[in-house]
Copies of this chain bind each other. A is one copy, B any other.
Amino acid sequence: MMKKAVILLSGGLDSTTCLAYAKSQGFQCYALSFSYGQKHNVELDVAKKIAEHFAVEKHQIVSLSIGDFGGSALTDKSLDIPDYEDNGEIPVTYVPARNTIMLSIALGFAEAINANSIFMGASAIDYSGYPDCRPEYFEAFRKLASLATKVGVEGSPITIETPLINLSKAETIELGHSLGVDYSMTISCYRATADGLACGTCDSCVFRKKGFSGAGLQDQTKYIGSVII
């Protein structure tokens, strides 16, 4: 029987690479996306197309009203999404406990469908300093997952796979490129318009640009205000 995996899919560069990687490892893939009140919810349409493109077994979209809590520029209309700043601080785009919430729901989904693994495209190299992207965070979640679930108690815990955790953005893009990922399908920008145009200056855009430049590859991202010929 094929191994099953749940892949957290935002429609961005990292999660799409992760999906391609899980497929290449022989997993039957179940994509999981979240409608959580993010301003850049065009990513859900993008995620749908990517899930279809990779012919996943199922694409589950979970709605949850955590955007109502506020406290993050990604969900709170009263807070502007800032441009990238290299100052070592956790930016206001941090969504309280977001990865924990997403991984927990992935854990419930994985156990309900008898999946062996959860894949998440987090990286602790070219990233915004979010606490829930660090290797020690994932170690703690692995421990929790083994104690939290019936399958864990029975000796077959669901594994938490973070294949990109130590890769730079350039290395992630090289990995995806070698797996045939078409990055023109993906979108990274926190300020993405409904038409899928990117701002070019938020954290996510800056890391993406740096990645393509480092990998020596061309990015097809279309930016707001750029001339389309």
Contact = CB atoms under 8 A, between A and B. Distances in A.
Interface string A52-66: 000000001011111
Interface stretch (A18-26, A132-140, A171-179, A181-189): A132-140
A147 B140 contact: yes
Contact of A153 (B99, B110, B131): B131
Interface string A114-154: 00000000000000000110101100110111011110110
Given A108-B98, A150-B131, A66 B71 contact: no
Copies in the complex: 2
Given A62-B66, A113-B69, A152 B140 contact: no
Interface residues of A, number: 46
A223 interface: no
Nearest to A97: B108
A109 interface: yes
Given A62-B66, A63-B65, A96 B107 contact: yes
B150 A96 contact: yes
Q: Top 10 nearest A-B pairs by Cβ distance?
A: A97-B108, A71-B112, A96-B111, A69-B112, A104-B104, A97-B107, A96-B108, A64-B64, A100-B104, A140-B144
